[in-house]
Copies of this chain bind each other. A is one copy, B any other.
Amino acid sequence: MAAAFARIATDGFEGLRTREVAAAIGINIATLHYYFPSKEALIRAVIGHAMQRFSQTLPTSGSPAEQLSVYLHNLADLLEQDQSLWAVMGELVLRARRDPDLAHIVDQMNDVWHAKLRDLIARLGRPGLDADDVAALMIAAIKGLSLPTAPSVQSQRIDQVFAQFRHLLGLSQSALE
């Protein structure tokens, strides 16, 4: 449910109230419970929704350099434009600490993400570049960028970090556009 997603982005899991979700879409609480038997079920649905949206940033065709460029471009866009997705991702990662099922999902996504990046970097053919380590660095940095407080500062930091990515990978600025 998109309404639940929005509420989590705004107030976190801590502030998720089924009554408010129901009210936001103009239905009765009991009706919400009819579709989602429990709050937990609603949360699971939100998790699935978030994960799916996140996966859609992965490109599937083109040369490694092209794919990397497109991917970085997509991520930077997502970071700047859809703050709510990252807010929810942050909440999910934190919640995963207490929720084994969620932890499993998050770990799996991290692995896929890392493998994909490592693969692309390796196929770039840059000698002296440890694909595994660089992928780890990039993922850590992107995760870190998803924990903003002031949106104003955020934008500058994103540019700086992605500039370093390109520098590390030997990608030209123009390759991103």
Contacts and interface: CB of A to CB of B under 8 A. Distances in A.
Interface of A: 10-15, 87, 90-91, 93-98, 103, 106-107, 110, 130, 132-134, 136-137, 139-147, 149-150, 153, 156-157, 160-161, 163-165, 167-168
Interface of A is mostly: helix
A160 B91 CA distance: 25
Number of identical protomers? 4
Nearest to A109: B149
A144 B106 CA distance: 14
A97 B12 contact: yes
- Most chain B CB within 10 A, of A130, A137, A141, is at A137
A87 B95 CA distance: 11
